[in-house]
Amino acid sequence: MRSIRPLLTAAGLVAALTLTATACGPEEDQASDKPSASASAGKDGSGGLPDGLADTLKKHGVDLDKWKNGEWKNWDKDTWLREAKDFVNPVIEGLWKPDRMKSAKDPAKTMSAGDFSGDQGVTDPEPKPVTAQPEKTPYHNYAAPVGKVFFDSPEGSMVCSGTVVKDPKNPGRSNLVWTAGHCVHAGSKGGWYRNIVFVPAYNDKGKSAAALENAQSYEIAPYGAYWADWAATSGEWMRDGGPTGGEGAPYDYAVLHVKPEKGTKSLEETVGNALPVNFDAPEVAQISAMGAWGYPAAPPYNGLIMHKCVDRPGRLSISPSTPTMYRIGCTMTGGSSGGGWFSEASNGKLALVSNTSIGPVTAGWLAGPHLGEGAEQIFTMMSDKFGGR
């Protein structure tokens, strides 16, 4: 019989995600954070471009006006930027309208089970499915750090999930988002995805598709869209990641630094909460429960409603040469990819310890990477790079 301890600790996991007292709700926030005249100009004076982006675009032969007018839809592999240093994501104001967000698809191929015939010595029995539960509404009161990541790929508009995480170099004003590597980069066969944005508290009141048929922007994206001005993922994902995760799956994580499409307030100040990242989580035998949050989009879900699963984690090995992953029972499907996994740290506080990476087509479980030294190096680099911003 499976332990019931995860059920006993679920309330604690949920409580730690609730909104902090310093934040305001979406309606109040919109009224108080209108974009200022200075907010629309980039630091380099290039009409909204952040420092260095104009030079980067020029280096790669990218004309900004042509890019915004549709050149970004050119996915020619000879010009598709893929190296870590080549990330570009110019803001295209108004691109992510409510209908475009609602029509975005889940990156289904990354949710295939793949081949798990590697080191079975550190693979535990397959967990029983845990039925994903809808989060309480409004989401900004119960899961403030959670949102959706939208991006464009050669296959069209796609969607993942993400989490606002604390920035050690920017306490209380973080603009960092944790997600999966496959939500920002195509892996071994491609490059960086485009038009990457984070939308916190997407569909905050959990309305149905029918209720959102003629929805206004604030109903879909109550805090607006936050564009990634830089992204970082692991070299292993870029080299080995594939349609089913492949040997890149244990390294399938990414960090975004974002900025609001409109306004100047930081992401953490806007949503009212952010979670620390724990890069030293104990062995699974010492973890009584992990909770995964996200927006599943593949059937039977439709991507509109935030869900969560809480379970005792087990181990899953992709290959004898790669780190063992966490695995929990969960019925969430594609679209939940990139969503944060949380557990209590040694200080008793909730921390992000993983993110959804892969799962079987039958949608009975999810697996996520163990965040170790490599993940910490990427996170620290992002914090140092944007310290104070």
3 state SS for 128-176: CCCCCEECCCCHHHHCCCEEEEEEEECCEEEEEEEEEECCCCCCCCCCE
pLDDT at 33 over 50: no
Per-residue pLDDT of 252-296, as tens digits, reads 999 999 999 998 899 999 999 999 999 999 888 899 999 999 999
Report which of residues 330 and 78 the model is more confident about: 330
Distance between CA 5 and CA 312 in Å, rounded? 8
pLDDT at 237 over 70: yes
pLDDT at 47 over 90: no
Phi–psi pair at 269, nearest 5 degrees: -65, -35
Order of strands across the sheet that contains 325-329: 314-316, 325-329, 365-368
Residue 369 has a pLDDT of 96
pLDDT at 380 over 90: yes
Residue 31 has a pLDDT of 39
Q: Check if the beta carbon of residue 14 is closer than 8 Å to that of residue 308.
A: yes
pLDDT at 45 over 60: no
pLDDT at 35 over 70: no
Residue 17 has a pLDDT of 55
Residue 245 has a pLDDT of 77
Per-residue pLDDT of 217-236, as tens digits, reads 999 999 999 999 999 999 99
Residue 63 has a pLDDT of 85
Query: 346-350 contacts: CB < 8 A, separation 24 or more?
Result: 346/282, 349/16, 349/276, 350/12, 350/13, 350/16, 350/17, 350/275
pLDDT confidence band for 361 (50 / 70 / 90): confident
Residues forming beta bridges with residue 193, ordered by sequence position: none
Instruction: Kindly state the percentage of the chain with pLDDT values over 90.
Output: 67
pLDDT confidence band for 309 (50 / 70 / 90): very high
pLDDT at 201 over 50: yes
Residue 310 has a pLDDT of 96
Q: Check if the beta carbon of residue 268 is closer than 8 Å to that of residue 166.
A: yes
Residue 27 has a pLDDT of 54
Residue 239 has a pLDDT of 95
Can you tell me the mean pLDDT for 336-362?
92
Residue 246 has a pLDDT of 81
**Rounded mean pLDDT of the chain?**
85
Q: Check if the beta carbon of residue 330 is closer than 8 Å to that of residue 339.
A: no
Distance between CA 62 and CA 235 in Å, rounded? 25
Report which of residues 193 and 60 the model is more confident about: 193
Per-residue pLDDT of 118-164, as tens digits, reads 433 478 999 999 999 999 999 999 999 999 999 999 999 999 999 99
Residue 252 has a pLDDT of 97
Residue 107 has a pLDDT of 80
Residue 220 has a pLDDT of 96
pLDDT confidence band for 20 (50 / 70 / 90): very low
Can you tell me the mean pLDDT for 206-219?
93
pLDDT at 168 over 70: yes
Residue 13 has a pLDDT of 60
pLDDT at 169 over 50: yes
The greatest distance separating any two alpha carbons of the chain, rounded to the nearest whole angstrom, comes to 63
